[in-house]
Structure 1
Amino acid sequence: MPEEEFDYIVVGAGSAGCVLAARLSEDPATRVLLLEAGPPDRSLWIHLPIGYGKTMWSPTYNWRFQTDPDPNMNGRRIYWPRGKTLGGSSAINGLIYIRGQREDYDHWAAQGNAGWGYDDVLPYFVKSEGNQRGASAFHGGSGPLKVSDIAARHELIEAFIGGAEQVGVPRTQDFNGAAQEGAGYYQLTTHKGWRCSTAKAYLTPEVKRRANLRIETDAMAGKLVFDGRRAAGVTYRQRGVLKTARCRAEVLLSAGSIQSPQLLQLSGIGPRALLDTLGVPVVHELPGVGENLQDHLQIRLGYECTKPITTNDQLNSWFGQMGMGLEWLLHRTGPLAVGINQGGCFMRALKDAQGKPVAATPDIQFHVATLSADMAGGKVHPYSGFTMSVCQLRPESRGHIRIRSLDAAEPPEMQPNYLATELDRATTVAGVRAARAIADAPAMRPYVKREVKPGPQAESDADLLEFCRNNGATIFHPTGTCRMGSDALAVVDARLRVHGVAGLRVIDCSAMPTLVSGNTNAPAVMMAEKAVDMIKEDRNDRARARG
């Protein structure tokens, strides 16, 4: 096959990649190739918010990864769904729009990453956002990524918010405003009852028609092509044919926290010992590639409700299903337009011996669903049920991603190493106890028939920790495996350029030095918006230097 040449090659059409391709191709003189290993996003289940339950297990639209056995989780393998279509994980996620805390980004900057403090990144959150509430100091009203309120208040969510208030957590209308702490309804990346993935937001029909943008689906990147120490292209396999695309400017990796480090390692950038073991010629030794893996561990508490007001009740009857369908068809509202989790809470759960919060900012996040199942996306229980799940926001535990095959289609070793530190164990148990306290508050008590999981037999800290080890799962936020920084284990610099080589950047959640305090989709979009400006600035600087 003849080689084609582009200015930029974007690997991965996910939360960041769609943004990069759309923004860079705004300049008609810039030729962009966007490679996506999965198929186009044509399924109705992608675009219907409640379709999350279908795409969670889809072999077509989901990589369906499994971690290696985690010794801290009693040797369990944890299911890690990741999006495999245009939009990536934004096409199959839980839709929640959360940015994290001001302190997360100020911490990035304090680690030596200039330009990544909160005041630096806020304009890019605002630029990307089209919030139905309109523009404000913290929000954008006209950006591509649509953000909507949940139209109807739900009796159970109202009870949860009331219970949180009764244990000292204030009600909030905006988790992404001046302060994150509080309990309330989430805003979702939906628009008029439909999911707004980054493919929907940024790869509009008009963008797809641009003559200077090529979008290739079913195109699995195999490795990077180098001219010396400059990234000069990408090899990829499409419908059984091996192809090569070359670039004049830069290769931009946006394949996510699992596959971006995997592709670097396959291409000879990573820990020398690992590459030598597999016979990969070393282009540049970077020991941090694939290290520093962080994720939010989700602990789900299940309850049986005293009233038949849950989504379980609707899904378990033909009449209920018909009602849900009609509500969506007529009004674009109801459970089909919402997805799974409607309410949430950010609070400081871990306390010291005097009963004072250990953390200065929230250390636990709640996701509250008006349904219950054995796991996220699973078949709902036959009884009226709801779920309160908790996750520690800033885990200390670190895992890794390491290739074990020269085939890019072979999943790498994925070791999350959950609950490896005492702080993580103590905070997670404190989160479970905080959920129980809210469930036992006067506002919630009338709705709780019984705690199904962990159940009354789990009472001591040791019991609850064992429950967490046996039942904890990902809440889909792997990050950090191509960490930004300037030390020996950093992979990219503050402009997301891979250390030691030219023409190569990593622009996705793998570049986060530390995990943000919340869901990661909105931060990934922000990072891509900011990266586009940095790419353009660096290109202009090079042009000026050439005279």
Structure 2
Amino acid sequence: MEFDYVIVGGGSAGSVLAARLSEDPATSVCLLEAGGKGDGLLVRAPAAVVAMLPGRPKINNWGFETVPQAGLNGRRGYQPRGKALGGSSAINAMLYVRGHAQDYDEWADLGCPGWSWQDVLPYFRRAENNELGDDALHGAQGPLQVSQQKAPRPVTEAFVQAGEALQIRRMQDFNRGDNEGIGHYQVTQFHDPARNGERCSAAAGYLHPVMGRPNLTVLTRAQATRILFENKTATGVEFRQGRTTKTVSARCEVLLCGGAFNSPQLLQLSGVGRAQDLQPHGIEVRHDLPGVGQNLQDHLDFTLAYKTRDKDNFGISLAAGAKLLREVLEWRRTGRSMIATPFAEGAAFLKTMPELDRPDVQLHFVISIVDDHARKLHLGHGISCHVCLLRPKSRGSVSLASADPLAAPVIDPQFLAERDDLDGLMRGVRLTRRIMAQAPLADYLAKELFIDAEPDDAALEGHICARADTIYHPVGSCRMGTDAQAVVGPELRVRGLRNLRVVDASVMPRLIGGNTNAPTIMIAEKAADMILGRPAPARDGP
């Protein structure tokens, strides 16, 4: 099989690239995805994420783990990643968040010209079909449906009002460049009548509607095992489908879209990376590129949880079981109800110190009790509030466990390796507990779980080290830049090789201050123009 472009990974970036590159009938595209089609009911029904995220069993989920983390009392962290068309956008909370404008200006300052806020904004707009319509900062003609929440719970509004009681400004839109404030998240969810209330994964928005194109071949259950080269030129991909090993050739380029774990792993399996990482596994070094798998960054998160007096949220009780069927029927009929919830309904981006130039923590207010990624369940009803540190200083790595391409990568985020990260997270937890204590939110709360009273610094540090973990935003392991440690240049070409690019969250030079799905889709939109040699869209229009 031979195509112009071979894309490895059908997640958020791969779905975008496959759709955009195949818009020209003369361009042939093959997409390899290790998982399934990503179009089942568990993906389409937003609340069904609770069946996929915990990874027990692994449904549309790689379900990775980290190595033991010294900063987390030696615990192994859990790293769920989407394994289906749509990737992690098929199993996430659907939150549409771009980050702060300064995040992208910082990318440009770090040696990535063309990636400032004003440079990337037209691609965010191009991607969007925003329910609120078109303006200078939002688009309404794109494939990705972005919606207001369908039926947020009253307790979420109480959370927002509690923040306002502490003089935190209410935000109607967190995606206009300055996101400091409190409010409700927008979500990647269908708002057209035909599919109102369903999840709009990247595959549902971009890929599923065009899979009938004769110039687009999508192979599912096809796991890439090696990039094929002639000297320094990528020529195709070896992959395994069932028990059979196959190859596919690329006339123009091979495009890696596996994400922050799988893309560096595939490069290393193919002999591209640090010689010291490859040689112990008997892998011939084709191209010594020291940055591959380095610079891993992730948002570390600590969750506060509370039992509530009311039951108008998710919980485990006889009342909840009886109500669930009614909610399912209402969702199927109207697209609304609790089944349409992202769970993380309330949002806040806050500064833990007034002198900071932008928020350093993000809150996700959740209408259920969350413990260990929903892998530990609690009787009764409650709410949770995630506190995540937006700009960690700790840096980790992704490496090979062995030369077996089906083995999971070795993931070492090095959480809390830098003391400043722990200090910032502690400030964020204290600020969040102040919000939770304010009326009207405090009136909903019956009991705080895990923390009995206001802890001193030593006690709070102990709580964080015992319970903190990722909130699912790994990036940076194939960093973009122009220095010797960069894996790709600003046009996302792998440095020192030909016809090979990386297009996913792994190219981010620094973690943005928010959720990473919308930025990953933006990266792929911009990459499609660069690959095809098209000019960037005008900054004042799509």
TM-score, scaled to structure 1: 0.94
Which of 37, 44, 47 lines up with 2:44 in the alignment?
A: 47
Cα deviation for residue 362 of structure 1 reads: 0.6
SS at match of 2:205: helix
Superposed, which structure 2 residues align to 1:250-399 within 5 Å? Answer: 250-312=253-315, 317-349=320-352, 351=353, 357-378=354-375, 380-399=377-396
**Residue identity opposite 1:431 in structure 2:** G
Unaligned segments of structure 1, at least 5 residues: 352-356, 540-547
Cα deviation for residue 196 of structure 1 reads: 0.4
Q: Per the alignment, do residues 67 and 313 of structure 1 end up closer, same or farther by CA in structure 2, a change over 3 Å counting?
A: closer
Instruction: Give the whole-Å Cα distance in 2 for the aligned partners of 1:384 and 1:84.
Output: 31
1:63 maps to 2:54: no
Superposed, which structure 2 residues align to 1:481-496 within 5 Å? Answer: 481-496=477-492
Instruction: Give the whole-Å Cα distance in 2 for the aligned partners of 1:107 and 1:414.
Output: 26
Q: Per the alignment, do residues 212 and 40 of structure 1 end up closer, same or farther by CA in structure 2, a change over 3 Å counting?
A: same
Which of 415, 418, 423 lines up with 1:421 in the alignment?
A: 418
Higher alpha-carbon deviation: 368-377 or 119-128: 368-377
1:17 matched to which residue of 2?
14
1:544 matched to which residue of 2?
none
Contact 2:476 2:509 in 1 (8 A): yes
2:122 matched to which residue of 1?
123
SS at match of 2:170: coil
Instruction: Give the whole-Å Cα distance in 2 for the aligned partners of 1:166 and 1:190.
Output: 30
Residues 329-385 of structure 1: CA deviation (Å, up to 9, x unaligned): 232111101131111100102x3xxxxx24211111000011113233346522221
**Residue identity opposite 1:518 in structure 2:** G
Residues 130-151 of structure 1: CA deviation (Å, up to 9, x unaligned): 1111111111111100011013
Contact 1:169 1:182 in 2 (8 A): yes
Instruction: Give the whole-Å Cα distance in 2 for the aligned partners of 1:148 and 1:376.
Output: 25
Q: Per the alignment, do residues 60 and 53 of structure 1 end up closer, same or farther by CA in structure 2, a change over 3 Å counting?
A: closer
Higher alpha-carbon deviation: 515-524 or 39-48: 39-48
SS at match of 2:71: helix
1:169 matched to which residue of 2?
168
Cα deviation for residue 313 of structure 1 reads: 6.3
Residues 281-303 of structure 1: CA deviation (Å, up to 9, x unaligned): 11111111000000011111001
Residues 211-262 of structure 1: CA deviation (Å, up to 9, x unaligned): 1111001111001010110001100011111111111110000001001000
Contact 2:129 2:143 in 1 (8 A): yes
**Residue identity opposite 1:309 in structure 2:** D
Q: Per the alignment, do residues 42 and 385 of structure 1 end up closer, same or farther by CA in structure 2, a change over 3 Å counting?
A: same
Aligned length, in residue pairs: 528
Instruction: Give the whole-Å Cα distance in 1 for the aligned partners of 2:31 and 2:311.
Output: 47
Q: Per the alignment, do residues 73 and 284 of structure 1 end up closer, same or farther by CA in structure 2, a change over 3 Å counting?
A: same
1:432 maps to 2:436: no
2:35 matched to which residue of 1?
38
1:451 maps to 2:448: yes
Instruction: Give the whole-Å Cα distance in 1 for the aligned partners of 2:401 and 2:316.
Output: 46
Instruction: Give the whole-Å Cα distance in 1 for the aligned partners of 2:408 and 2:459.
Output: 34
Cα deviation for residue 308 of structure 1 reads: 2.7
**Residue identity opposite 1:338 in structure 2:** T
**Residue identity opposite 1:239 in structure 2:** G
Instruction: Give the whole-Å Cα distance in 1 for the aligned partners of 2:344 and 2:62.
Output: 23
Instruction: Give the whole-Å Cα distance in 2 for the aligned partners of 1:394 and 1:178.
Output: 16
Contact 1:258 1:481 in 2 (8 A): yes
Instruction: Give the whole-Å Cα distance in 2 for the aligned partners of 1:358 and 1:305.
Output: 35
Cα deviation for residue 443 of structure 1 reads: 2.6
Cα deviation for residue 159 of structure 1 reads: 1.2
SS at match of 1:533: helix
2:193 matched to which residue of 1?
none
**Residue identity opposite 2:240 in structure 1:** R
1:236 matched to which residue of 2?
239
> How many percent of aligned residue pairs carry the same amino acid?
44
Cα deviation for residue 423 of structure 1 reads: 1.5
Contact 2:480 2:490 in 1 (8 A): yes
**Residue identity opposite 1:446 in structure 2:** D
SS at match of 2:380: coil
Q: Per the alignment, do residues 315 and 20 of structure 1 end up closer, same or farther by CA in structure 2, a change over 3 Å counting?
A: farther
1:479 matched to which residue of 2?
475
Superposed, which structure 2 residues align to 1:500-515 within 5 Å? Answer: 500-515=496-511
Instruction: Give the whole-Å Cα distance in 1 for the aligned partners of 2:318 and 2:333.
Output: 19
Instruction: Give the whole-Å Cα distance in 2 for the aligned partners of 1:22 and 1:362.
Output: 35
Instruction: Give the whole-Å Cα distance in 1 for the aligned partners of 2:10 and 2:367.
Output: 32
Instruction: Give the whole-Å Cα distance in 2 for the aligned partners of 1:42 and 1:160.
Output: 33
Cα deviation for residue 111 of structure 1 reads: 0.8
Superposed, which structure 2 residues align to 1:206-217 within 5 Å? Answer: 207-217=210-220
Cα deviation for residue 327 of structure 1 reads: 2.2
Cα deviation for residue 11 of structure 1 reads: 0.1
Instruction: Give the whole-Å Cα distance in 2 for the aligned partners of 1:76 and 1:265.
Output: 26
CA RMSD in angstroms comes to 1.5
Contact 2:151 2:340 in 1 (8 A): no
2:538 matched to which residue of 1?
none
Cα deviation for residue 478 of structure 1 reads: 0.5
1:545 matched to which residue of 2?
none
**Residue identity opposite 1:413 in structure 2:** V
Instruction: Give the whole-Å Cα distance in 1 for the aligned partners of 2:507 and 2:17.
Output: 15
SS at match of 2:346: strand
Residues 413-440 of structure 1: CA deviation (Å, up to 9, x unaligned): 1101111112211110011101110011
SS at match of 1:237: strand
2:86 matched to which residue of 1?
87
Instruction: Give the whole-Å Cα distance in 2 for the aligned partners of 1:242 and 1:309.
Output: 51
Higher alpha-carbon deviation: 111-120 or 465-474: 465-474
**Residue identity opposite 1:67 in structure 2:** T
Contact 1:51 1:339 in 2 (8 A): no
Contact 1:314 1:320 in 2 (8 A): no
Contact 1:314 1:321 in 2 (8 A): no
Cα deviation for residue 104 of structure 1 reads: 0.4
Contact 1:130 1:143 in 2 (8 A): yes
TM-score, scaled to structure 2: 0.95
Instruction: Give the whole-Å Cα distance in 2 for the aligned partners of 1:249 and 1:317.
Output: 54
Q: Per the alignment, do residues 506 and 316 of structure 1 end up closer, same or farther by CA in structure 2, a change over 3 Å counting?
A: farther
**Residue identity opposite 2:78 in structure 1:** Y
Unaligned segments of structure 2, at least 5 residues: 191-195, 536-542
Cα deviation for residue 314 of structure 1 reads: 7.4
Cα deviation for residue 316 of structure 1 reads: 5.3
Q: Per the alignment, do residues 443 and 66 of structure 1 end up closer, same or farther by CA in structure 2, a change over 3 Å counting?
A: same
2:206 matched to which residue of 1?
202
Higher alpha-carbon deviation: 33-42 or 150-159: 150-159
1:218 matched to which residue of 2?
221
Which of 505, 513, 521 lines up with 1:525 in the alignment?
A: 521
SS at match of 1:384: strand
Higher alpha-carbon deviation: 5-14 or 373-382: 373-382
Instruction: Give the whole-Å Cα distance in 1 for the aligned partners of 2:255 and 2:146.
Output: 27
